[in-house]
Structure 1
Amino acid sequence: MKLDRIDFFDIRQPDRLAKAIHTQMGDLVLPVPVEDIATALDISEVRTGSFDGFEGMLLTDQARSIGAILANTRGGFRRARFTIAHELGHFLLEHHVLSSEAGFRCRAQDLKETREGRRHQKQETQANQFAIGLLAPVKALDEMLSSEPDLQDAVRLCVAFDISVEACVRRMIERRPEPLAAVWSKDGQVRYWDKNNGFPFVQLRKGDRLPQTTQAFRVHASSKSGFTDFSESPPMAWTSRDDIEIFEQTRRSPSGHAVTLLWADTPGPDDLDEEPDPYHRELGEPGFR
């Protein structure tokens, strides 16, 4: 594989950078050969293995003349593929400031970071955005989505792109036009959640128990694995809104890990009987994922 970094030097937006790489590659190959791409772009070595204390590491200099990537496989090889793409993002986004003299050292929470904020957090967010754009390009992903939201799409995307189901769920939420959120849980306790711009703020924090009035709670209580169908859910169980309808679908694994997809039917302007309160707004965003 031959790629020329000179075409990418002035690109600072992670999604544009990922798209530019795919444009230079030409025909799309799935799963995306991330290690081949890295070595074609001056990464001298990509090493995967079981490491302590970090998820990924990029060894490079400030000039980014050459680099080496280490990716932890303790979370599985699909997670390691994402880590390789994440570190490649740090390498190619040359405005990223090295976290040490040797390069970048990324922890597990860094690869979960999606909030813009301080420089470090912003750099980790951008590296994640590049990674998902490289591994799950928009055009291919959009063609694989069903006509309506469905968690089973995430499993199909997982196989096609060779990345985790969690990453595929987040990518699906990002790309779909419907107001969607996803809540990840383990044994009935919330791990984290994510949403797109159309979905209201979710009033759950890490460690909270799933609301007992929800289908997700009943799935955990029954220890039943697999996919549920969508069913109506009390909106106040998930949000502070009582003027919307929410439908939920859950996928639970035998290990007790689960993801619940929430689909909101929010009222349009013609459905409101009175003017909205201009002082009512959601406060803040979650500090995880």
Structure 2
Amino acid sequence: MIKLDLIEFADYIRPKEIVDEILKQNPNIKIPIPLSEIAKNIGIVDIDYRPLGNLEGALVANEYKTEGVILINNSKEAGTKERQRFTLGHEIGHFMIPRHGHKMSCSISDMSTTNKDEKIEIEANDFASKILMPDQLFCKGSLFDNPSIENIKKLAVIYGVSFAACSNKYITNHHEPLAMVFYKNKKFRYFKKSKDFPFYFSFECKKGTQLPLDSLANNLNDFSDENISLDYTDASVWISKTNGFLLPDEIIEEVYIQKNGYSVVLLKFEEEIEEIENY
């Protein structure tokens, strides 16, 4: 059962600080994180699931954000329960981060923005990711330490989040040199990489760009849903510049075919990455 002393949050303004305090006050919190209980404890009197047109979610609170209501789009077009959970986390973030407004309407583009000018929406997304997949719990254990598509899928189920949200968290927080390329119909969409992935891609990372011609991802023609394929590829197929590090001969491609042409490829190395001397 969640219990929160709201006075302890008075000086916190950043998503990480707020999430850390929630976990500090609830050291035995259960997974998946009970967002509805958290919402109730901070003053959210109702979570209303209803069709919202082009909106993913909304927050309607009083001026001082001591009480409020959250609306979540539950239409067929709005997607899965996991997506709705992320939206709920996002709106709780708006409520708990002091500088955010007391009336917020969030569209699909707000929920996926990387535009630095939209700092409020980025902070709410960051809060949602951190509360749904707390670093202290998510970033440890065998499923995290052994990178694979299958382990990311398992973690997504455990934490009640989408594969995409789980992948973003997994890759950007991992201690190994990893990258994940998201694509549709063999055309690039976007990528995520860990801080220890030091290389530059061999192709233009622009939406709609063709994947590397000799890659497994580009040549795989088995489009069965949920299919996972793995192969070793010449690393130069994916990598052009090494940025002061020796490029291993091979890179491991693990391709995950999803629905409607959407796919991802996890890129990792079997060999340890070494720096070039006197670079």
- Quickly name the TM-score band, shorter chain normalised: 0.7 to 0.9
- Tell me the equivalent position of 1:282: none
Q: C-alpha separation between the residues in 1 aligned to 2:25 and 2:145?
A: 31
TM-score (norm 1): 0.83
Are positions 1:105 and 2:105 aligned together? yes
Q: C-alpha separation between the residues in 1 aligned to 2:23 and 2:144?
A: 24
1:144-183 alpha-carbon deviations (Å, 9 max, x no partner) = 5254311111111111011001111111112211121111
Determine which structure has the larger strand proportion and give its number.
2
- Tell me the equivalent position of 2:91: 87
Pairing partner for 2:149 from 139, 148, 151: 151
Pairing partner for 2:187 from 186, 189, 193: 189
199-208 or 102-111: which moved more? 199-208
1:210 aligned partner, one-letter code? L
SS class of match (2:141): helix
Pairing partner for 2:274 from 264, 268, 285: 268
Q: How much does 1:253 deviate?
A: 2.1
- Tell me the equivalent position of 1:252: 257
Distance 1:180 1:51, change over 3 A: same
Contact 2:42–2:66 (8 Å) recurs in 1 = no
SS class of match (2:233): strand
Contact 2:143–2:151 (8 Å) recurs in 1 = yes
Q: How much does 1:235 deviate?
A: 3.2
Q: How does 1:129-148 map to 2 (within 5 A)?
A: 129-141=126-138, 142-148=140-146
Contact 1:235–1:241 (8 Å) recurs in 2 = no
2:274 aligned partner, one-letter code? G
Fraction of identical pairs, as percent: 27
Distance 1:6 1:146, change over 3 A: closer
- Tell me the equivalent position of 2:223: 223
SS class of match (1:228): strand
1:130 aligned partner, one-letter code? F
Q: How much does 1:25 deviate?
A: 2.2
Contact 2:215–2:237 (8 Å) recurs in 1 = no
Contact 1:214–1:234 (8 Å) recurs in 2 = no
Contact 1:72–1:80 (8 Å) recurs in 2 = yes
Distance 1:175 1:31, change over 3 A: same
Q: C-alpha separation between the residues in 1 aligned to 2:263 and 2:170?
A: 16
1:75-123 alpha-carbon deviations (Å, 9 max, x no partner) = 2110010000011111101022x2xxx61111112222345x22xx222
1:186-211 alpha-carbon deviations (Å, 9 max, x no partner) = 22122221122222344321122222
- Tell me the equivalent position of 2:177: 179
Q: How much does 1:266 deviate?
A: 7.5
Q: C-alpha separation between the residues in 1 aligned to 2:151 and 2:57?
A: 28
Q: C-alpha separation between the residues in 1 aligned to 2:142 and 2:34?
A: 19
TM-score (norm 2): 0.86
Q: How much does 1:241 deviate?
A: 4.0
Unaligned runs of 5+ in 1: 277-289
Q: Give the root-mean-square deviation of aligned CA atoms.
A: 2.3
Unaligned runs of 5+ in 2: none
Q: C-alpha separation between the residues in 1 aligned to 2:229 and 2:163?
A: 16
Contact 1:58–1:69 (8 Å) recurs in 2 = yes
1:248 aligned partner, one-letter code? E
- Tell me the equivalent position of 1:208: 209
Distance 1:109 1:35, change over 3 A: same
Q: C-alpha separation between the residues in 1 aligned to 2:99 and 2:234?
A: 45
Q: C-alpha separation between the residues in 2 aligned to 1:36 and 1:236?
A: 48
Distance 1:105 1:201, change over 3 A: farther
Q: How much does 1:233 deviate?
A: 4.2
Q: C-alpha separation between the residues in 1 aligned to 2:9 and 2:17?
A: 9
Q: C-alpha separation between the residues in 1 aligned to 2:38 and 2:15?
A: 16
Q: C-alpha separation between the residues in 2 aligned to 1:144 and 1:135?
A: 19
Distance 1:167 1:230, change over 3 A: farther
Q: C-alpha separation between the residues in 1 aligned to 2:223 and 2:200?
A: 28
Contact 1:180–1:198 (8 Å) recurs in 2 = yes
- Tell me the equivalent position of 1:285: none
Q: C-alpha separation between the residues in 2 aligned to 1:66 and 1:146?
A: 37
- Tell me the equivalent position of 2:123: 126
